[in-house]
Amino acid sequence: MDILKIPKFTPNNSLLKGKEILITGAGSGIGREVALACSEFGANLILLSRNTKKLYSLQDQIVKNGYSEPLVVEFDFEKAKEKDYLNLFEKLCEEYEKLDGLVHIAGVLGYLSPVVNTSLNQLNTVMRVNFESNFL
C-alpha cells in the first residue's frame, strides 16, 4: 500500500524577519514556546503576560540566544477592563506603526468540576479571559 508522502516543510530562518508579532500568554507553556520559535525566525516580539518575572526570564533567554530584545508588557486578562485594553492599544500605537501578527494564547480553564459546582465568579473569569478579550 502506498502512503501519501508529504514533503517536510522547512521554513527559512528569516521567515518572520522584521515582522512585529504580539503574543499573549507568553509567560509560560505554549505562549513561551511560540515566542521562542518566532524569535528564531527573526520576528520582533511584543510579549504579554500577567507574570513579569516569567516574561523577563523569556526576554533574557531570547537575547541570550542572539535574537532581538522583545518588548515586555505586563497584562492581566483576568482583571483587565475596557480602559486597560485602550491603554494597551495606545502604548502599542506609540511604539509600533503596525502589527504583522497576533498570537492570542492567554486563557484560563477554571476548575475541573461539575458545572453545578462552578460559581458565577469563576465562570465570569473564564469568559472574560477566553471570550471577551478576543473582542476588546
Q: Which domains does the chain have, with CATH numbers?
A: 20-107 (3.40.50.720)
Per residue in 78-92, pLDDT tens?
A: 999 999 999 999 999
**Contact between residue 16 and residue 43 where contact means Cβ atoms under 8 Å apart:** yes
* Percentage with pLDDT > 70 across the chain: 98
User: What is the reported pTM?
Assistant: 0.85
136 pLDDT band, cuts 50/70/90, is low
**Contact between residue 76 and residue 50 where contact means Cβ atoms under 8 Å apart:** yes
Is the pLDDT assigned to residue 1 strictly greater than 60? Answer: no
Per residue in 37-89, pLDDT tens?
A: 999 999 999 999 999 999 999 999 999 999 999 999 999 999 999 999 999 99
Coil, strand or helix at 115: helix
- Please tell me the distance from the alpha carbon of residue 27 to that of residue 77, in angstroms, as a whole number: 13
Largest CA distance in the chain: 60
- Please tell me the distance from the alpha carbon of residue 134 to that of residue 72, in angstroms, as a whole number: 20
125 pLDDT band, cuts 50/70/90, is confident
